[in-house]
Amino acid sequence: MGSVKCQISISLDGFVAGPNQSIENPIGEGGIRLHEWAFQTEAWRRQHGLTGGERTADSDVIDEVVQGVGAYIMGRNMFGGGGGPWDEKWTGWWGEEPPYHAPVFVLSSHPREPLLMKGGTTFTFVSDGIESALQQALAAAGGSDVAIAGGASVVQQYLKAGLLDELYLHIVPIILGTGERLLADIGDPVFEPVQVIASPAATHIKYRVANPV
């Protein structure tokens, strides 16, 4: 069976989104600064149908994090925006061809028919909890890994439930000062650093999470 993992950009002071998230600014004020290390890479641009970009250690990380992922899980806000347009016309932030190219399970309290997007992405809405979503995602992944795509509260729920096997933090050397924290209300899991990749733009630390049996 595949493992359950999460990779996420985090500020030096622990935030994964800025304050005042809204439909206009789903990652919050200043939150875009968390992702600039990725935008400038060749791998991110290629994955999003663009040319150019830099071939750096950061670029290799971008390629690494999609390898072996067979399905994704995301929260309702990540799919639909903070308090956003959750209706039958909304198909996510990513246009006709989202960058997932795999089954995506969206946690939601509202049942909805699955969405089939271009390029192999499907959005399946799961209203009966995180364990059900994980079972469905693992089945859909067919032995490959399941990635928890975010946001923070979904990652926290999987961490707290002891269901996450790997947390890969991209520590970005910025201070947001306020916003959405990742590592709050998660209990006391045991983290073991298993890989560190350093660049001027971010320090990428991969932790194995040891969950009590």
The nearest distance, CB 93 to its own copies, in angstroms, is: 27
Binder to its own copies among 83, 120, 129, 177 (CB under 8 A)?
A: 177
Distance separating alpha carbons of residues 208 and 168, to the nearest angstrom: 8
| Token digits of residue 132 | 């059900």
Short-list 192, 188, 194, CA closest to 212: 188
State which H helix or E strand residue 57 sits in: helix 57-66
- Minimum CB separation of residue 191 from its own copies in Å reads 4
Q: What share of the chain is helix, strand, coil (3-state, %, to 5)?
A: 25, 30, 45
Q: How many CB atoms lie within 10 A of CB 102?
A: 21
CB of 152 to its own copies, least distance (A): 13
- 8 CB contacts (<8 Å, ≥6 apart)? 16, 150, 152, 155, 167, 168, 169, 170, 182
Write each residue from 134 to 173 as x if it is in contact with its own copies (CB under 8 A), else as -, in one continuous string.
Answer: -------------------------------------x-x
Q: Report in angstroms how near the CB of residue 4 gets to its own copies at its nearest.
A: 18
Dihedral sign for Cα 125, 129, 184, 192, please.
Answer: negative
- Of 121, 174, 179, 180, the residue at the interface with its own copies (CB under 8 A) is 174
Task: Tell me which residues in 14-53 interact with its own copies (CB under 8 A).
Answer: 14
143 vs 187 by CB, closer to its own copies: 187
CB of 194 to its own copies, least distance (A): 8
Q: Using CB under 8 A, which of 187, 211, 212, 213 touches its own copies?
A: 187
Count the site residues for its own copies by CB under 8 A. 26
Six-digit token string for 192: 């073991």
Contact residues: its own copies, CB under 8 A: 12-14, 171, 173-175, 177, 183-184, 186-193, 196, 198-200, 202-203, 205, 207
